[in-house]
A and B are shown apart, each in its own frame.
Chain A
Amino acid sequence: MTQKSFHDQHVTQLSPKTEPTPNTQRESLAAEVRKLSFWYGETQALKEITLSIAYRKVTALIGPSGCGKSTLLRSFNRMHDLYAGNRYSGEICLFPENHNLIDLDPFMVRLRIGMVFQKPNPFPKSIFENVAAGLRIQGVQNKKLLSDRVEQALRDAALWEEVKDRLSQSAYGLSGGQQQRLCIARALAPQPEILLLDEPTSALDPIATAKVEDLITEIRHRFTVIIVTHNMQQAARISDFTAYMHLGKLIEFAPTGELFTTPQETLTRDYITGRFG
């Protein structure tokens, strides 16, 4: 219900001219990858990936090391544009406007799509300023609004109780797991349309990992999340859809339960039963 009104509103406001996609899709999809290929210089890392990203659901990307999960994820916020020699072909369409984000200005794309990296990378600033960073660039100046949204983001990242008395202290005083949740709060604060997580728990211990998984479960109804993970149990626990990749190709994509219980492809089956490599 809320989904529908959200989308209708945006469709009328933002894209009266673009070609309409079927209603069913528009209601359920946040983005769609269409025949996306990607090259690092001469080496092709993605081969005609086609994949739908469900609106306000968690989509997991799994697959053996080097199969292109990070490459695909980083295409969503055009991170590859920072480095010379990289090239895309194909589309990643953002709904509801149905704009191909490969054709948009990368800086504008990044304002709409948040990202959390494998290694916690807070700025050398206070905890508050870290979370406020993305809000400031979006033009939020009002102090009350700023602190409300910082608090909300820290609550979403399940970090508020631990840091509420030390917001003005350096982010580097936090533990690794706290720093990673701070980075999640920083990405959540501007309310991104899609949140990208690249192995967000691989540098964390099991308890910190559980906290991050819990918070993803908490926010999944309000954010569209794409997560890369090496941990299949993690994918099974927190995702709604799972995509299995192999050597730059998308091998199988299905609701998580189905993919893990009844994989259709031999490669997928081998990987999830641990027979791979």
Chain B
Amino acid sequence: MRASESFLRRRALWGSFAGGCLLIAAASSVFVTLGIVYVLVTESMGFFAQIALLDFLTDTQWTPVFENAHFGVMTLVSATVTVAGIALAVSIPAGLALAIYLSEYARREVRETVKPCLELLEGVPTVVYGYFTLLFFTPLLQTFIPGLEGFNMLGPGMVMGIMILPYTASVSEDAMRAVPSGLREAGYALGYSRFRVAMRVVVPAAFSGITAAFILGMSRAVGETMVVAIAAGQNPNFSFNPTEGAATITAYIVQMAMGDLPHDSIAYQSVFAAGIVLFVITLTFNLIGFFLRRRFKEVY
């Protein structure tokens, strides 16, 4: 009787202790996020006191350190969106094909060799991808595309598409493999071919996981810095033309961070304003992902 009472008491204590730890862990992630937002907002306050929001969003020039400074953030956004768009255009088909192959076709030994290799891509320092793009991939592309500039958005976009394969392919493959085998068997039992089972049963059933994978990849592509800073150039250029070079938001931020700007200068503050835009873009993608996942929530 006594023993069980003390056991219950101990268990309750442990329960609340463990609960408390988990709460702290969960809360700290919220606090960090809030802290980042706080810094971004307060630091850019000074910026928006001097630059009208409308100009910020509609001007098509970004020349923060010029005599006649312009702060049209769309200049940077255009490059960010173009590069990320190219990355996704490469990564969605390649990632899906790879994930379907690994999950539905490959024998176990093949999968267990290829997957670690794929995940190794994640460990390659992005600066390596950057110089690989600048020194090898762009010259290679220039042999096919004559008008391609030395700094351009196409090369970095495509390389980034490969770079985010660990997210897009590997995470979608995890989602596909989590589809219960009973669902696959239901397809096969109707006479479905392997391909039909993959496309009509597995992919729809893993849809939310696949979306999550691509949203993750997209966020990564939007936030990626090194590759674009090295291979897409540092010249703000309002353009969606992938053959031209253009600075993305992240490339601009890192460029400013490397110079030593006085902290109260408007150019310094513009870094945080650009940062907010980056934050909003990423947040938007995550929200889209969230709603897509809710819309296609899988129930096994």
Which residues of A are in contact with B by a Cβ distance under 8 Å? 77, 79, 82, 84, 107-108, 110-111, 114-115, 117, 119, 121-125, 133-134, 137-138, 172, 183, 186-187, 190
Contacts and interface: CB of A to CB of B under 8 A. Distances in A.
A187 B107 CA distance: 29
Interface stretch (B88-96, B197-205, B209-217, B219-227): B197-205
B131 interface: no
Contact of B205 (A124, A183, A187): A124
Best-surrounded residue of B184, B192, B193 (most CB of chain A within 10 A): B192
Contacts of B196: 137
B183 A111 contact: no
B253 to A, nearest CB: 41
A150 B269 CA distance: 64
A-B CB proximity, top 3 nearest: A111-B191, A115-B189, A110-B191
B190 A133 contact: yes
Interface string B264-300: 0000000000000000000000000000000010110
B180 interface: yes
Instruction: Output the residue of A108, A134, A187 with the most chain B CB within 10 A.
Output: A134
Contact of A121 (B186, B191, B200, B204): B186
B293 to A, nearest CB: 13
A121 B185 contact: yes
Nearest to A129: B200
B252 to A, nearest CB: 43
21 contacts: A79-B188, A84-B107, A107-B191, A107-B193, A108-B191, A110-B190, A115-B189, A117-B182, A117-B189, A119-B182, A121-B183, A121-B185, A121-B186, A123-B183, A123-B187, A124-B296, A124-B299, A134-B190, A137-B190, A137-B191, A186-B186
A198 to B, nearest CB: 10
Contacts of B296: 124
B160 to A, nearest CB: 31
Contacts of A186: 186, 190
Nearest to B297: A172
A186 B190 CA distance: 8
A114 B189 contact: yes
Given A124-B204, A125-B204, A137-B196, A77 B182 contact: no
Nearest to A190: B190
Given A115-B189, A117-B182, 20 more contacts: A82-B185, A107-B193, A114-B189, A114-B190, A117-B185, A117-B189, A121-B182, A123-B187, A124-B204, A124-B205, A124-B298, A124-B299, A133-B187, A137-B191, A137-B192, A172-B299, A183-B186, A186-B190, A187-B189, A190-B190
Which interface residue of B190, B192, B205, B298 has the most chain A CB atoms within 10 A?
B190
A114 B182 CA distance: 15
Nearest to B191: A111
Given A82-B185, A183-B186, A123 B201 contact: yes
A146 B221 CA distance: 45
Contact of A123 (B191, B193, B204): B204
Nearest to B206: A124
Nearest to A173: B299
Contacts of A114: 189-190
Nearest to B296: A124
Contact of A79 (B180, B185, B200, B298): B185
B190 A121 contact: no
A209 B49 CA distance: 71
A123 B188 contact: no
Contacts of A190: 190-191
Nearest to A111: B191
A82 B182 contact: no
Nearest to A77: B189
B185 to A, nearest CB: 6
B4 to A, nearest CB: 35
A84 B105 CA distance: 12
A82 B188 contact: yes
B191 A134 contact: yes
Contacts of B201: 123
A164 B205 CA distance: 24
A33 to B, nearest CB: 19
Interface centre among A77, A79, A133 (most CB of B within 10 A): A133
Contact of A110 (B189, B200, B298): B189
A79 B197 CA distance: 14
Nearest to B108: A84
Contacts of A77: 189
A138 B188 CA distance: 13
A9 B151 CA distance: 73
Nearest to A114: B189
A70 to B, nearest CB: 12
Contacts of A115: 189
B105 to A, nearest CB: 12
A110 B185 contact: no
B197 to A, nearest CB: 10
A111 B191 CA distance: 5
